[in-house]
Structure 1
Amino acid sequence: MGQDSLKEEEIVELLSGIENVRLNEDESAVVIVDQTVLPGKKELLELGDAKALYDAIFELKVRGAPAIGICASYGIFILAKQIQADSGETFYKKFKEAAEYLNSSRPTAVNLSWALRRMEDVVKANISKSPKEIVSLLREECRLIQAEDAAMCKAISEYGLSLLKDGDGILTHCNAGPLATSKYGTALGPLFLGKERGMNFHVFSDETRPLLQGARLTSYELDQGGIDVTLICDNMASIVMKNGWVQACLVGCDRVAANGDAANKIGTSGVAILAKYYGIPFYVLGPSSTIDFHCKTGEDIVIEERNPEEIKCKFYEKPMALSSVKCYNPAFDVTDHNLITAIITERGILRAPYTESLKKAFPERVIE
């Protein structure tokens, strides 16, 4: 099936509700909002084969760590339905090949491997059953993953909102709203929840070079949600902080190490350094699926490097640098735990030392 556009009127529900990623009606494909064409164009894509799913994740058509995990879980379910096998063992071999292929699409966001590993665990635990029975269990699991993410986002939003006051100025980087997660989002969740309860915030949205997630997605979501938002270039964060216009920084995360170091979109660590200098709280918000106890520190997090041409050519009519000029284009950086005021998860507001607070919050995840 590949990637097929759907009718624009079908998009409203996905942009305003929980299901920014979902199965189509006959459960033959995953439906996503194509985030690469927002806000100028609203388009849905149907992903019905392995290459379409891989490309959608790699090309950022679906992005945001939780949304990637949800898409991957639905995607591997779709691919599992296509497997021809006469036993659980044969089914598992083909399933694992498909999962490894999807997992290779992006290395940094832990939700991708987490979701695929969770789906694989279902197969392994039921390998004595027929492929048809296993597929049915996979369907239940992928739906559960999305439902859990929605519940986690609501809890994260509640905890985050408790740290804010009506009228606060907020600075955010990249995009961690409904498009990147479920329902409220993570970093933007407290703002949407606060808006529902009559609170008002003024948000400064970093444009987030080079792919402009803040400009294209965050400012779009906030504007559509009736939240006062001002778009700024990344290098303007310092002056709005110095002017006293920012009372808190809220960012999402793609992976959190056991010591509290947090990987997020490139430029996040710079925001954290500025916030530390100006005495502004810097909060990292994310579900437990982004916490990786296998990574002791941020040094263990693999940082994805993307095509250098994104810097010189993306969104430009003409290249903005000579073809002979080299570019370094890491997709993420790691914010040192010492710069983070608190990590906000669905299990509460965690503070330093994170080696202790993370273990206490998630004892079942700890690796000795």
Structure 2
Amino acid sequence: MTTVFDESSDGFQAVRFDGKRLELIDQRLLPQEERWLRIDQIDAVIAAIADLVVRGAPAIGVTAAYGAVMAARARGDDLRGWLTDMQRLEQARPTAVNLAWAVARMREVTVRLGRLDSDALADEAYRMHRADIEANRTMAKAGSAVIDPGSGVLTHCNTGSLATGGIGTALGVVLEGVRSGRVERVYADETRPWLQGSRLTAWELARAGVEFQVLVEGAAAALMASGKVDWVITGADRIAANGDVANKIGTYALAVLARHHGVKMMVVAPSSTVDPAMASGQGIEIEQRDSAEIWRAAGIESVPSGFAAWNPVFDITPAELVDCIVTENGVFYPDYDFSQP
């Protein structure tokens, strides 16, 4: 089965599957080079997720689903071997709940059937991909409707088509806001150390023909003080039941700054990112990555002798600093009850 999409309505497809092979645009090389990786083995899928070839919680989930299909085709009727593959896949990145959610969905198919069926898994993966596209559209309209016309927005990391199966979460709201005249000024944090803002969000905004400005995170306070920003809009990798948000490192700082400057904070993510089993953000595992990433961002390929670094990839923003959370089920406000938008 080959997935068929319309970019004008479904968004740029950074994850493509032809029924046997997965194609991923290598996000580590953007915007300088648009290189596609062709993957047909589960080990390569796991490496692509761990090494940030593909990133963004929803896109990781979609990638994992298609990876499960490829693993099933390779395993034949070896269910035990496939379950081992799924366990390794689930551990590729521990913080993004969409990864575990996608793997659980694929396991459920095998439980329901009582066997390994790659065609049934492919159907489920495709449904998950289409559902994410539809959720993106719904979130874009719901989130942008909250924004007053003529507003300025600041976004962090990358939350567009590169990070999802569709037009994006937070960036989808921004793009819809620009189209509807509600968003007049767009700013994108550089987002160190991987520079997802200055490389990926900037690439997507330029591709969409949207005027924007990139800034280093250290300039966010001055930007807010200037009065040019009305909303900070970010995505999420996991949302606890109480509304605490795990997202790209630096999100917490923006939320604190936003509250001080009277700027509103919006988080946009599909309902699959909400983890009802996680009571609060205190229980969310925060992925620590190689400290060499920090030095590479400065153009230093090897860690200088005697240098050390702390490199968490996510932080936790307390629910009380978030003005609203948008999912495909609606706009939620404090105190957060995700069953009642």
TM-score normalised by structure 1 residue count: 0.87
1:29 aligns with 2:12: no
Q: What residue is the counterpart of 1:352 in the other structure?
A: 334
1:165, CA displacement in angstroms?
3.0
1:236-281, Cα deviation, whole Å (9 max, x unpaired):
0000000001011100000000110000000000000000000111
Question: Letter of the aligned partner of 2:267 in structure 1?
Answer: V
**What secondary structure sits across from 1:239 in the alignment?**
helix
Aligned-residue sequence identity (percent) comes to 36
1:262-312, Cα deviation, whole Å (9 max, x unpaired):
000000000000000001110000001100011110011000000001111
**Rounded Cα–Cα distance in structure 1 between residues aligned with 2:74 and 2:200:** 34
Question: Letter of the aligned partner of 1:52 in structure 2?
Answer: A
1:199, CA displacement in angstroms?
5.4
1:61 aligns with 2:41: no
**Rounded Cα–Cα distance in structure 2 between residues aligned with 1:195 and 1:67:** 23
1:251 aligns with 2:234: yes
**Rounded Cα–Cα distance in structure 2 between residues aligned with 1:155 and 1:200:** 17
1:203 aligns with 2:183: no
Equivalence map 1:1-368=2 (5 Å):
17-24=11-18, 27-85=19-77, 91-127=78-114, 131=116, 134-197=117-180, 200-314=183-297, 316-317=299-300, 322-354=304-336, 357-360=337-340
Kept in 1: contact 2:23–2:38 (CA 8 A): yes
**Rounded Cα–Cα distance in structure 1 between residues aligned with 2:10 and 2:142:** 22
Kept in 2: contact 1:74–1:142 (CA 8 A): yes
Kept in 2: contact 1:14–1:21 (CA 8 A): no
**What secondary structure sits across from 2:191 in the alignment?**
coil
**Rounded Cα–Cα distance in structure 2 between residues aligned with 1:196 and 1:277:** 29
Q: What residue is the counterpart of 2:3 in the other structure?
A: none
**Rounded Cα–Cα distance in structure 2 between residues aligned with 1:200 and 1:106:** 33
Taking structure 1 as reference, are residues 351 and 324 closer, same or farther at Cα in structure 2, changes over 3 Å only?
same
1:204-249, Cα deviation, whole Å (9 max, x unpaired):
1100111100011011111211111100001100000000010111
Q: What residue is the counterpart of 1:365 in the other structure?
A: none
Taking structure 1 as reference, are residues 16 and 317 closer, same or farther at Cα in structure 2, changes over 3 Å only?
farther
Give ranges in structure 1 of 5+ residues lacking alignment: 1-11, 86-90, 362-368
Kept in 1: contact 2:13–2:162 (CA 8 A): no
**Rounded Cα–Cα distance in structure 1 between residues aligned with 2:191 and 2:9:** 21
Superposed CA RMSD: 1.9
**What secondary structure sits across from 2:75 in the alignment?**
coil
1:69-107, Cα deviation, whole Å (9 max, x unpaired):
00000011011011132xxxxx33222111111111100
Give ranges in structure 2 of 5+ residues lacking alignment: 1-5
Question: Letter of the aligned partner of 1:250 in structure 2?
Answer: I
Taking structure 1 as reference, are residues 299 and 168 closer, same or farther at Cα in structure 2, changes over 3 Å only?
same
TM-score normalised by structure 2 residue count: 0.94
